[in-house]
């Protein structure tokens, strides 16, 4: 019985509030504000940015295929550098293409300090764009 009485009081108060609000709205003759899709995106972009990064990190079949099929290559001083199976390779460039016959593993133990710094910069360049290569225009 007490729940029935509480629900009746709630319904009466909601009806009273609804009449009061609709009466004030009709008196003020307010206009409805409609937002465009780009404006709503601008307002919510910072909120959903973290969610999109999590969503884009899902391991998909197409992502695995792309990682297996394509190799990122950095070209510096007529030499091409790439990483395959966690091994750092280098090869000479001939007419704008990589000469696979000249490819060899890079031995970091035999390098001096300047060559080692150069290799570290190249490895960072090879690794840096992997999270932003999704092609999604919403990501920077």
**Within-domain flag for 2:** no
Within 8 A by CB and 6+ apart from 7, the residues are none
For residues 42 and 35, what is the distance between their CA atoms, to the nearest angstrom? Answer: 11
Q: Based on the number of CB atoms within 10 Å of its own CB, is 81 exposed (0-12), middle (13-18) or buried (19 or more)?
A: buried
Query: What is the domain extent for residue 98?
Result: 70-130
Within 8 A by CB and 6+ apart from 133, the residues are none
112: left (phi over 0), alpha (psi -120 to 50) or beta: beta
Domain count, the chain: 1
**Within-domain flag for 64:** no
**Within-domain flag for 42:** no
**Within-domain flag for 18:** no
**pLDDT recorded at residue 76:** 84
**Within-domain flag for 5:** no
**Within-domain flag for 108:** yes
Per the DSSP assignment, residues forming a β-bridge with 80 are 75, 91
pLDDT in tens, the chain (140 residues): 778 889 999 999 999 999 888 877 666 665 666 778 888 888 888 777 666 666 556 678 887 888 788 888 888 888 898 888 888 899 999 888 888 899 999 888 888 888 888 888 888 888 775 554 545 555 44
**Within-domain flag for 52:** no
């Amino acid at each position: 019985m007490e729940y029935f009485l509480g629900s009746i009081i709630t319904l009466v108060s909601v009806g009273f509030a609804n009449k009061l609000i609709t009466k004030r709205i009709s008196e003020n003759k307010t206009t409805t504000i409609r937002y465009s899709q780009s404006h709503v995106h601008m307002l919510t972009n910072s909120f959903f940015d973290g969610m999109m990064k999590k969503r884009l990190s899902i391991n998909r079949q197409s992502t695995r295929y792309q990682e297996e099929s394509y190799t990122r290559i950095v070209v510096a001083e007529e030499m091409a550098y790439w990483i395959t199976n966690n091994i750092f390779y280098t090869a000479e460039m001939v007419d704008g293409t990589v000469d696979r016959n000249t490819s060899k593993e890079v031995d970091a133990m035999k390098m001096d300090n300047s060559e080692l710094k150069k290799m570290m910069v190249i490895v960072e360049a090879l690794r840096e764009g992997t999270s932003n290569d999704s092609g999604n225009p919403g990501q920077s």
